[in-house]
Structure 1
Amino acid sequence: MTLSSRVNSTISTKTALLMASSLFITTPAIAKYEYSPFKLSVAHVSTGTADVGNDGNQLKRNVWMMDLEASMSINRQWSIGASVGYDNLDYGWHVNQDSDIITASVPWDSINRYEVGLSVNYRPNKHWMFIASPKMQYAYANTASSSNARSYGLVAMGLYRYESGNSIGLGAAYLNDIEESKVVPFLAIDWQLSERWSLANPFQVGFSGPAGLELRYQLNQDWDFSVGSSRRTQRFLIENDDITVEIEEWVGFLRAGWQLSKSTSLSAYAGYYFGGEMNLSSPDITEDIENQVAGALAFDVKF
């Protein structure tokens, strides 16, 4: 769960690490994860009201996110995965003065984001795993058409697993977003620091940014707590002539996770967005976003 976005549509870094672990194990006794082929995630994020620019305009965001992932091992060396997702981003504007980014007469206040991704995973030996994940996304506001809102990309990663079970890897995401192409390098990690402490990636890698880092504390079998941060990006079409809005910001968060059963979990987040900017592609205008608090709930079920 991303506190405003998941880095969409390919298999998540966390899921990739889980699949890697399930392929690397040689006996059930050393399995670190309980593998399940399907995972359904539902999350809701709500932010506080923030000033945008210097015209007195304010923005409050509410986001619903749904994602379904599937994975399957073909043999000891090959596995495949797929994911589909839908997000609804409700942008509640209070327009004090019309600007190039937002007007009271025609506000863009609802964004739809559809995502689909595939993954191919290859394990040549007991230590190495290589992952390639193509992805496609449509992200557009209520003032634009979906036909002009397509983005696509490829995430590639090499992952090394030590005898201890710890995993670390490097990767890069090539993203051909709406009217912009970029490459995002990232670090993939799942590292047990001690019996209770571990370091891992909280987010997926893709259109919404890198994977971030999260320090976790396992209190007992049912409860864990963590603190983390990452740079996040949202880019979507607001007019059909390839006019986009991009939001870039940092998010820091505290998380409490409750393992309801072997297959279901619930996480509560308290977050803080800071260093945010909103950019309009044409004309090229950037306005600062005031720092704001956020809260989120995420429910996962594996089956």
Structure 2
Amino acid sequence: MKIRTQPNLLSLSLLLAGLALVPASYAASKPYSPFSVSVSRISTGDADIGDSNLQLQRDTWLFGAKASIPLNREWSMSMSASYDKLDYDWGTRGGSLFGNGVTTWPSVDRYSASIGVSYRPNKQWMFLFAPKIQYAYADGTSSSNAQSYGVVASGMYRFENGNMLGLGVAYLNDISEVRTVPYLAVSWQVTENLKLSNPFSAGFSGPAGLELSYQLTDDVDVGIGTSKRTQRFLVKDDETTMEIDEWVSFLRAGWTATSSLSFNGYAGYYFNGELELSDPNSSEQIDNQMALAFAAEYKF
């Protein structure tokens, strides 16, 4: 879900996202709920930034709302909106990024919205098309220069045993960069209790990732997964951006408290992280770090 997720002292996150982080599965017997709201908190450990003499610790709050509305037997529509607050603590050791005096930022605001349409022509196939828009900007910059947009499309095939497998691609016109992100879409019941699925939604934060989960009881499941997470945001109003690109692996424990309320806790590890400035083109490595996260979702 970033794994911010994308999502740490790990992404205990429920979606997404992010470092983003969203739970993989719930009991099929639960009643259908078209609307949901979620809140997640992610905290990472301290990480050294290259040779800059700086340390970075991140805390993230993620707030989201989703709706899924069937239109008829073949068509359905989904809508989602989110707001994320990313706080950056650069420690007290002093120093500058990239050795050229680039000013660090205390926080980032990120807003996003999406409208999706899915089509099921028959029992075997399902297709999804979802345009997305996002604004992500550091404190002191203007939101008007921080727009990104794109679309996520996927096709999945349903086998006779109910398992689903497919491919997807996200085309993203991000701030000062265009990206195309392919991903594997999967929902595969390996055994009665063991399932392989995507823990996140593909989008600006990266591909959907993979999680292997085990249903301990009707209400409790555990999982292990990994994904690549990307965060890109404006740091100067002339379209100068910072990108944080990293991998996250995580352990998750989920509890469906009621048919409407669920909780997920994550413990994980961010690794192979990199900070990249767009202008001038410069990069610094981020040391590996642990992370913790917690997420709650309410459906109604």
TM norm structure 2: 0.90
Structure 1 runs not aligned, ≥5 long: 19-30
**For residue 9 of structure 2, what is the aligned residue in structure 1?**
none
CA contact (8 A) 2:246 2:274 kept: yes
1:221-263 Cα distance to aligned partner (Å, 9 max, x none):
1111010001110100000011100011110000011110111
Q: Distance in 2 between matches of 1:126 and 1:89?
A: 42
Q: Distance in 2 between matches of 1:180 and 1:98?
A: 25
**For residue 229 of structure 2, what is the aligned residue in structure 1?**
232
Q: 2:133 matched to 1:130?
A: no
CA contact (8 A) 1:3 1:295 kept: no
Q: Residue type matched to 2:209 in 1?
A: G
**For residue 285 of structure 1, what is the aligned residue in structure 2?**
282
**For residue 143 of structure 1, what is the aligned residue in structure 2?**
140
Q: Distance in 2 between matches of 1:252 and 1:149?
A: 29
CA contact (8 A) 1:13 1:211 kept: no
Q: 2:47 matched to 1:50?
A: yes
**For residue 183 of structure 1, what is the aligned residue in structure 2?**
180
The alpha carbon displacement at 1:103 in A equals 5.3
**For residue 95 of structure 2, what is the aligned residue in structure 1?**
97
Q: Residue type matched to 2:50 in 1?
A: G
Using CA pairs under 8 Å that are at least 6 residues apart, name the structure with larger relative contact order, 1 or 2.
Answer: 2
Q: 2:278 matched to 1:276?
A: no
CA contact (8 A) 1:2 1:203 kept: no
Q: Distance in 2 between matches of 1:83 and 1:183?
A: 21
**For residue 198 of structure 2, what is the aligned residue in structure 1?**
201
Q: Report the count of equivalent residues.
A: 285
TM norm structure 1: 0.90
Q: Residue type matched to 1:121 in 2?
A: S
Match runs of 1:8-47 below 5 Å: 34-47=31-44
Secondary structure in structure 2 of the residue aligned to 1:91: strand
Q: Which 4+ stretches in 1 moved above 6 angstroms?
A: 12-15
2:108 aligned to which of 106, 111, 118: 111
CA contact (8 A) 1:117 1:133 kept: yes
CA contact (8 A) 2:3 2:270 kept: no
RMSD value over aligned CA atoms? 2.0
Secondary structure in structure 2 of the residue aligned to 1:147: helix
Q: 1:103 to 1:297 in 2, by over 3 A?
A: farther
1:95-120 Cα distance to aligned partner (Å, 9 max, x none):
5212348959x531110000010001
Q: 1:241 to 1:281 in 2, by over 3 A?
A: same
**For residue 156 of structure 1, what is the aligned residue in structure 2?**
153
Q: Residue type matched to 1:126 in 2?
A: K
CA contact (8 A) 1:13 1:188 kept: no
Q: Residue type matched to 2:171 in 1?
A: Y
Q: 1:80 to 1:108 in 2, by over 3 A?
A: same
Q: Residue type matched to 2:256 in 1?
A: Q
CA contact (8 A) 2:164 2:187 kept: yes
**For residue 22 of structure 1, what is the aligned residue in structure 2?**
none
The alpha carbon displacement at 1:83 in A equals 0.3
Percent identity, please.
Answer: 51
